[in-house]
Each structure stands twice: as C-alpha cells, then as structure tokens.
Amino acid sequence: MRTLVAALSLLAGSSLPALAQHLPPIGSPYPPPFSATLSNTMPLVFGMDVETAASALGTPLNYVSGSPGEEVYLTFRNTGGSGLFYNRHRLYLQFRKGRLAGWKGDWGRNWMWQ
C-alpha cells in the first residue's frame, strides 16, 4: 500500500511543470520573462540615423565632436536609482556616413563620492 501511494505521488509530481519562480497571486500580472530583464537591452540598431536613434532612446543627442557625417553624440540615460540619487549614465554614439556605427556606455565614477 505504501509503495502504491509513493508511486502515485511521484507520478503526480512529475506531471507538474518545473518553475524556477513562484507563481504570482491570483489576479496579479505575471513577472516579465528573464530576457526582458537583461541589462543590455537597448533599442539601438546599427545603421540608424541621428533622428531615429534619438527617438528610439527617448533622449536628446548632444553633439560632441566630428565632421559632418562622422559625428560623435552623447546622451544621458536615466537608469533609475534609489529615489534619493538617480543614476544618469552617459552613452556615446558614433555615426559614420550619417549612420549609427557603434555605441559605448560610460559608467564613470560619480563625482559626489570622490
């Protein structure tokens, strides 16, 4: 009898899906998938022009240097924070022939803690 109960409980337990997280309470929204929480998700694509990149980031681009068509722009991205101090990271965008050729985030030291 005990073996039958043990076999049935193993069979019932193996038919349930394996979840890495607990399910949210009934009626609340499901948490986003892991791929949506990655830190390297930027809406940038190689080949964008300046206006498209600015609208994709939702921030204005500030000219830094370069000749026409070969510019470097800077934008400040608000990445949240504790509510007391906001994180504003610098993002440099390199354009070649008027198209986005690369970008680099600058997570330099905060001047307040020097």
93 Cβ neighbours under 8 A, 6+ residues apart: 44, 53, 61, 72, 73, 74, 75, 100, 102, 103
HSE, side-chain direction, 13 A CA sphere, residue 105:
13
Task: Tell me which residue of 40, 107, 104 sits closest to 72, measured CA to CA.
Answer: 104
| CATH architecture assigned to 43-114 | 2-Layer Sandwich (3.30)
Alpha helices in 1-114 (DSSP H): 2-14, 50-57
Check: CB of residue 49 under 8 Å from CB of residue 100. Answer: yes
Is 101's pLDDT higher than 70?
A: yes
Which tops the pLDDT comparison, 56 or 42? Answer: 56
| pLDDT at res. 48 | 92
| Domain spans, the chain | 43-114
| pLDDT at res. 22 | 66
Write 59-66 long-range contacts (CB < 8 A, 24+).
61/93, 64/92, 66/95
Is 105's pLDDT higher than 60?
A: yes
pLDDT in tens, 51-86: 999 988 888 999 999 999 899 999 987 766 666 666
> What is the value of pTM for the model shown?
0.56
Average pLDDT, the chain: 76
Is 110's pLDDT higher than 90?
A: no
